[in-house]
Amino acid sequence: MRSNLAARDVETLVHPYTNLAAFRETGPLVLERGHGVYVYDTDGRPYIEGMAGLWCTALGYSNEELVEAASEQLSRLPFTHLFSGRSHDPAIELAETLKELMPVPTSKVFFTSSGSEANDTQVKLLWYMNNALGRAAKKKIISHVKGYHGVTVATASMTGLPANHADWDLPLPGFLHAPCPHHYRGAEPGESEAAFSARLAGELDALILREGPETVAAFFVEPVMGAGGAIVPPAGYFEAIQPVLERHDVRLVADEVICGFGRLGTWFGSESLGIRPHTLSFAKAVTSGYLPLGGVSIDEPLYRAMLAESAKIGTFGHGTTYSGHPVACAVALKTIEIFRRDRIVEGVGAKAPHFQARLSGLADHPLVGEARGIGLIGGLEIVADKGSKRQYDPKAGVAARCVAFAQAEGLIVRFLAGDRIAICPPLVITSEEIDALFDRLTRALDRTLAWIA
Ligand code: PLP
């Protein structure tokens, strides 16, 4: 049954975010099982999962308590929904637990099955709210160039990456992009992080004024920009932009899909970076990636507007079959219980200095222009010339090559557009495993350098 998996894959599957033509030559990496921070391919080769899957498997790969929580719920009530007022205890308990944890005033929680659906829901709720408030023009959405918010028609419009727009007929009208807060690439020579932040806040102000504040509903931000390059915004950035948004009555939405649940050493990234959003989106680590679940926090003013609209129309016309899936909710509850009991968030704080020191050490490598991160997330930018920050021709695929060498060294990391490499291991990684991760990555960089020469 398991023979020829690679060949069968090529003939049957379409892979997300894959160069479909090149893939026909390279084929897949077929993984079979996982344990701790390791995953194993079908030949039994171990890899350190340096990306926690897709930024999600916070508790690692063999957590029996999560398996038991899923199994128990599957046996008891594998499915019921939340439509038309139907309910179940895992969803109620999870919503209560999340309300306690949220770093923002939260009246209610709405569940989805993914980060894309969570952000898509945010957009729709903003439109719904502004209609309820009689502000029919206030609908435009701003996000960052290089921001990542998902792949639905609305969220791919918010995403600020070329591959999500080119030939997809996106972004939709009404979706605007503010400059990327990446100091290494965006700052003028000699411009401090604080000055860069102030300049970007000025540019955001100008954008809102140009569009008309009465037409702009919200600004979506990731605390650390993940898929755009594991980019940590410069010092003072959120402090600088928040007064601008307040002045123009533009709501701030934090996309905590990656940073939520401990990644930066606080429960939510907003707490680490001084972000005071109106609402936030979460997904991924809420179940440690074991089952699909996402959602949004809803503040009281938004909830009141939703009440008014649904009373007028006769129903709240939004939701998917799996919104608040009971098995996913049960796994999320167990995930949070383990986080609290094992002090996972505090553990990230304790491990982060070592992780960040090893990351910063890579800045000395001839190929690395920038090595930057926070908590247990980091990004590297590969450059051809450190002084001028000149990059290799994208067609050379240098970061992709480095990621392939890392895989040969037994490490999974992810290359991102702009010759960047992301590192985002499970939060349960040990100090020794952090060393093994960076030793393997260093060898991969050395092999890349030798390959270029
Ligand atoms: N928002 C952020 C910050 C993400 O990183 C992602 C996915 O990586 C999403 C939204 C979309 O989530 P999903 O892939 O679950 O739809």
Q: What string of H, E and C letters represents the secondary structure of the chain?
A: CCCCHHHHHHHHCCCCCCCHHHHHHHCCCCEEEEECCEEEECCCCEEEECCHHHHCCCCCCCCHHHHHHHHHHHHHCCCCCCHHHCCCHHHHHHHHHHHHHCCCCCCEEEEECCHHHHHHHHHHHHHHHHHHCCCCCCCEEEEECCCCCCCCHHHHHHCCCHHHCCCCCCCCCCEEEECCCCHHHHCCCCCCHHHHHHHHHHHHHHHHHHHCHHHEEEEEECCCECCCCCECCCCCHHHHHHHHHHHCCCEEEEECCCCCCCCCCCCCHHHHHCCCCCEEEECHHHHCCCCCCEEEEECHHHHHHHHHHHHHHCCCCCCCCCCCCHHHHHHHHHHHHHHHHCCHHHHHHHHHHHHHHHHHHHHHCCCEEEEEEECCEEEEEECCECCCCECCCHHHCHHHHHHHHHHHCCEECEEECCCEEEECCCCCCCHHHHHHHHHHHHHHHHHHHHHHC
- Are 423 and 377 in contact by the 8 Å Cβ rule? The answer is yes
* Predicted TM-score of the model (pTM): 0.98
- Are 215 and 130 in contact by the 8 Å Cβ rule? The answer is no
Sign of the Cα pseudo-torsion (326, 425, 373, 175, in order)? negative
| Nearest to 368, CA basis, from 356, 376, 377, 360 | 360
- pLDDT on residue 2: 57
Sign of the Cα pseudo-torsion (71, 73, 77, 80, in order)? negative
150 in contact with ligand 1, CB cutoff 6 A: yes
Which is the closest atom of ligand 1 to the Cα of 114? Answer: 15
* Distance from Cα 449 to the centre of ligand 1, integer Å: 32
261 in contact with ligand 1, CB cutoff 6 A: no
Provide the terminal-to-terminal Cα distance of the chain, rounded to the nearest Å: 43
409 in contact with ligand 1, CB cutoff 6 A: no
Which is the closest atom of ligand 1 to the Cα of 225? Answer: 3
* Distance from Cα 385 to the centre of ligand 1, integer Å: 32
Which is the closest atom of ligand 1 to the Cα of 292? Answer: 15
368 in contact with ligand 1, CB cutoff 6 A: no
pLDDT in tens, the chain (453 residues): 456 999 999 999 999 999 999 999 999 999 999 999 999 999 999 999 999 999 999 999 999 999 999 999 999 999 999 999 999 999 999 999 999 999 999 999 999 999 999 999 999 999 999 999 999 999 999 999 999 999 999 999 999 999 999 999 999 999 999 999 999 999 999 999 999 999 999 999 999 999 999 999 999 999 999 999 999 999 999 999 999 999 999 999 999 999 999 999 999 999 999 999 999 999 999 999 999 999 999 999 999 999 999 999 999 999 999 999 999 999 999 999 999 999 999 999 999 999 999 999 999 999 999 999 999 999 999 999 999 999 999 999 999 999 999 999 999 999 999 999 999 999 999 999 999 999 999 999 999 999 998
The encoded tokens of residue 362 equal: 């890579």
223 in contact with ligand 1, CB cutoff 6 A: no
Angle between the N-to-C axes of helices 193-211 and 237-247, in degrees from 0 to 180, rounded to the nearest 10: 20
- Are 186 and 196 in contact by the 8 Å Cβ rule? The answer is yes
Which residues fall within 8 angstroms of residue 418, CB to CB, at 6 or more apart? 146, 229, 381, 391
- pLDDT on residue 453: 87
For ligand 1, atom 16: residue with the closest CA? 116
Could you write out the three-class secondary structure of 348-367?
A: HHHHHHHHHHHHHHHHHCCC
* Distance from Cα 210 to the centre of ligand 1, integer Å: 30
* Distance from Cα 391 to the centre of ligand 1, integer Å: 27
Q: Which amino acid is at 357?
A: A
* Distance from Cα 393 to the centre of ligand 1, integer Å: 28
| Nearest to 368, CA basis, from 410, 420, 434, 437 | 420
For ligand 1, atom 10: residue with the closest CA? 149
Q: Peptide bond preceding 171: is omega within 30 degrees of 0, i.e. cis?
A: yes
Which is the closest atom of ligand 1 to the Cα of 259? Answer: 3
Pocket test for ligand 1, best of 284, 322, 325 (most atoms within 8 A of CB): 284
Instruction: Round to whole Å and give the CA distance between 141 and 127.
Output: 10
- pLDDT on residue 273: 98
| Nearest to 354, CA basis, from 289, 282, 437 | 437
144 in contact with ligand 1, CB cutoff 6 A: no
| Nearest to 355, CA basis, from 52, 149, 63, 103 | 52
* Distance from Cα 156 to the centre of ligand 1, integer Å: 10
- pLDDT on residue 393: 95
* Distance from Cα 134 to the centre of ligand 1, integer Å: 31
Q: Annotate 250-283 with b (16+ C-beta within 10 A) or e (fewer).
A: bbbbbbbbbbbbbbbbbbbbbbbbebbbbbbbbb
* Distance from Cα 407 to the centre of ligand 1, integer Å: 23
The encoded tokens of residue 86 equal: 């139907």
